[in-house]
Each structure stands twice: as structure tokens, then as C-alpha cells.
Amino acid sequence: MDDYPLLDLFLTMLFFFLWIMWLFLLFRVVMDIFRDDDLSGWAKAGWLIFCIVLPYLGVLVYVIARGRGMGRRDVKQAKDAESAFKDYIRTTASEGNAGSGGTNELARLAELHDSGALTDEEFTQAKTKLLA
């Protein structure tokens, strides 16, 4: 046990953690390069080559130059996925219950609630009344 002191163990764990964090950041940058529709194909290839040839410098420069856009693209992707999911639920529910007007009313109530026209209490009351 004396061959590997506690401080060396701590430093090894710290370096391992930092290495894993850097790998996570590298993969996030590479995913963001491919996700960005504003970049041309040549720009994507250039950033990718820069991140592969000089990985530490490439990732650092990318985060400095385009880091703010990374967050915006993440939020946009989450909102797009949520709206696509809601649209899928609405179309599936309306196709499954083509004869019932309750589904359409629920969808209309959800839209009014999302737009802020209905408060949470009003939405809950209307939904309970509709489902009863």
C-alpha cells in the first residue's frame, strides 16, 4: 500500500475525471458541428479536422467561438422534439377517436393552457368536467 500514496490516488482520480469530462465535451462539440444547419459542408469539415488534428485546441476554440450557439441549438432541438411529440399525440388521438369530440376539446384546452389563456386551475377544472 505504501507504493501508491493517497495523494497519488487522488491525483489519478482527478485526472481520470478531467479526461472523461474532456471526452464528453469533445463528443458534444462534434455532435454540434453536425447539427448546425448554418455551417456549410466545408465549414463542418474544417471544424471537424481542427478538432481531430488538434483536439484540445480545436475544442477550446470551438467552445469560445460558437459556444453560445450550442446552447441555443440544444434548446431549439428540445422545443422541436416537444412540439413534434404533441403533434403526434394530437393526430394519433384524433385518428383513434374520430367520432368523439372529447379528444378535440382536450386538444383545444391544452392549446389554450399552453398559450396562457387558461390558468392551471381553470385548465384542471375544464379537463375534469370534460372527462367526467
Q: What is the pLDDT of residues 18-70, one digit of tens each?
A: 999 999 999 999 999 998 888 899 999 999 999 999 989 999 999 999 888 88
Judge contact between 130 and 121, C-beta under 8 A: no
5, three cell numbers: 500514496
Nearest C-alpha neighbor of 125 from the set 93, 115, 113, 116: 113
- pLDDT tens per residue, range 56-101: 999 999 999 988 888 888 898 899 989 988 888 888 776 655 545 6
Nearest alpha-carbon partner for 87 in 105, 106, 113, 107:
107
Phi and psi at 84, nearest 5°, equal -65, -40
* pTM flag (> 0.75): no
The amino acid at 114? D
What is the overall mean pLDDT for the chain?
86
